[in-house]
């Protein structure tokens, strides 16, 4: 799809990947509305974008609430008359032993990473169906295909998001509205606390730069990809795990011990 003039609702715009994605969208001539939780992060995004983002649309909203999701849709209607692309990029993480995570933290991960994108899609869908065109982009993770130790709640939320993306994509065939699921591997952003990077060095987990991931997301939108897995060999492991999970159980056994020890040493929620 052409991004020039496309009306894009970008949720999670002020984060590590989001700010580069916002810049890519502006450079491509799209008309994005940038949404993040905190106003001060949006102010910092505006500064980061400089002149290109001076007249763009910014909205502080908590997309786990119905009122704020509606505020996003209303803002798009008022500014641009509708939505062509919804990008569900907002997410939260926790690196912790599951037994150490509070029930509230587990619930919040599911709400932000899975339920809010489902309901955000539900909120824009009638408008997209009425115009017989649109794209819903859900940003998952490699951990949405491979369940990972000490990222249990996070993995679960991303598995849910992947399932949602697949089912909705099939349901909407022929409607003009399409669904893209993009799964990055590790990305160097504030989402991950220092313990994750320390653990990753020991287990040799690869991380990409957010600029590159933002470009991959834009590429997936332009090409109309159904699913895109970023990074090799993670993209291959994701497929192997789907067919031979026992093989992956064995290969992750040693890593599991390391991960549990780092998670116990300050993993937060």
Ligand X SMILES: NC(=O)c1ccc[n+]([C@@H]2O[C@H](COP(=O)([O-])OP(=O)(O)OC[C@H]3O[C@@H](n4cnc5c(N)ncnc54)[C@H](OP(=O)(O)O)[C@@H]3O)[C@@H](O)[C@H]2O)c1
* Residue 22, both tokens: 């916002």
**Binding to ligand X by residue 85, rule CB under 6 A?**
no
Distance of closest approach, residue 165 Cβ to ligand X, in angstroms: 13
Which residue, 5 or 107, has its beta carbon nearer to ligand X?
107
Measured torsion, CA atoms of residues 122, 128, 129, 130, in degrees rounded to the nearest 10: 120
**Binding to ligand X by residue 72, rule CB under 6 A?**
no
Would you call 8 helix, strand, or coil by DSSP?
strand
Give the number of residues in contact with ligand X, rule: CB under 6 A: 31
**Binding to ligand X by residue 33, rule CB under 6 A?**
no
Would you call 173 helix, strand, or coil by DSSP?
coil
Report how far residue 22's alpha carbon sits from residue 51's, in angstroms, rounded to the nearest whole number: 13
Which residue, 4 or 204, has its beta carbon nearer to ligand X?
204
Q: Cis (ω within 30 of 0) for the bond into 107?
A: no
Of the candidates 28, 46, 48, 62, which one interacts with ligand X according to CB under 6 A?
62
Of the candidates 26, 30, 41, 267, which one interacts with ligand X according to CB under 6 A?
41
Distance of closest approach, residue 180 Cβ to ligand X, in angstroms: 14
Site for ligand X in 137-176 (CB under 6 A): 139, 141
Alpha helices in 143-233 (DSSP H): 152-171, 194-203, 210-223
Three state DSSP letters for 148-169:
CCCCHHHHHHHHHHHHHHHHHH
Cβ atoms of residues 204 and 251 within 8 Å: no
Which class for 230: exposed (0-12), middle (13-18), buried (19 or more C-beta within 10 A)?
Answer: buried
Nearest to 56 by CA among 82, 32, 90, 77: 32
Distance of closest approach, residue 33 Cβ to ligand X, in angstroms: 12
Which residue, 15 or 134, has its beta carbon nearer to ligand X?
15
Of the candidates 191, 220, 221, 259, which one interacts with ligand X according to CB under 6 A?
191
Distance of closest approach, residue 212 Cβ to ligand X, in angstroms: 12
Of the candidates 87, 92, 214, 220, which one interacts with ligand X according to CB under 6 A?
92
Site for ligand X in 230-259 (CB under 6 A): none
Of the candidates 49, 187, 220, 259, which one interacts with ligand X according to CB under 6 A?
187
Report how far residue 38's alpha carbon sits from residue 24's, in angstroms, rounded to the nearest whole number: 21
Binding residues for ligand X, per CB under 6 A?
11-18, 35-38, 41, 61-64, 89-92, 112, 139, 141, 184, 186-187, 189-192
């Amino acid at each position: 799809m052409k991004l020039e003039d496309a009306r894009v609702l970008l949720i999670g715009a002020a984060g590590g990947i989001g700010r580069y994605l916002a810049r890519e969208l502006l450079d491509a001539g799209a008309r994005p509305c940038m949404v993040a939780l905190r106003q001060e992060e949006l102010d910092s995004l505006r500064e980061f974008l400089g002149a290109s983002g001076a007249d763009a649309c910014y909205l502080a909203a908590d997309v786990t609430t119905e009122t704020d999701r509606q505020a996003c849709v209303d803002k798009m209607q008022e500014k641009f008359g509708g939505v062509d692309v919804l990008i569900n990029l907002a997410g939260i993480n926790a690196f912790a032993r599951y037994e150490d995570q509070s029930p509230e933290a587990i619930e919040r991960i599911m709400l932000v990473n899975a339920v809010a994108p489902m309901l955000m899609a539900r909120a824009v869908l009638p408008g997209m169906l009425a115009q017989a065109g649109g794209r819903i982009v859900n940003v998952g993770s490699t951990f949405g295909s491979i369940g990972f130790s000490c990222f249990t709640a996070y993995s679960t939320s991303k598995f849910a998001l992947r399932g949602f993306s697949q089912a909705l994509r099939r349901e909407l065939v022929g409607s003009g509205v399409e669904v893209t699921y993009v799964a990055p591997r590790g990305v160097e952003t504030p989402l991950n606390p220092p313990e994750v990077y320390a653990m990753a060095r020991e287990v040799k987990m690869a991380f990409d730069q957010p600029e590159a991931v933002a470009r991959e997301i834009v590429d997936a939108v332009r090409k109309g990809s159904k699913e895109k897995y970023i990074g090799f060999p993670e993209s291959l492991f994701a497929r192997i795990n789907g067919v031979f999970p026992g093989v992956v159980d064995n290969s992750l056994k040693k890593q599991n011990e390391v991960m549990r020890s780092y998670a116990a040493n300050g993993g937060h929620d």
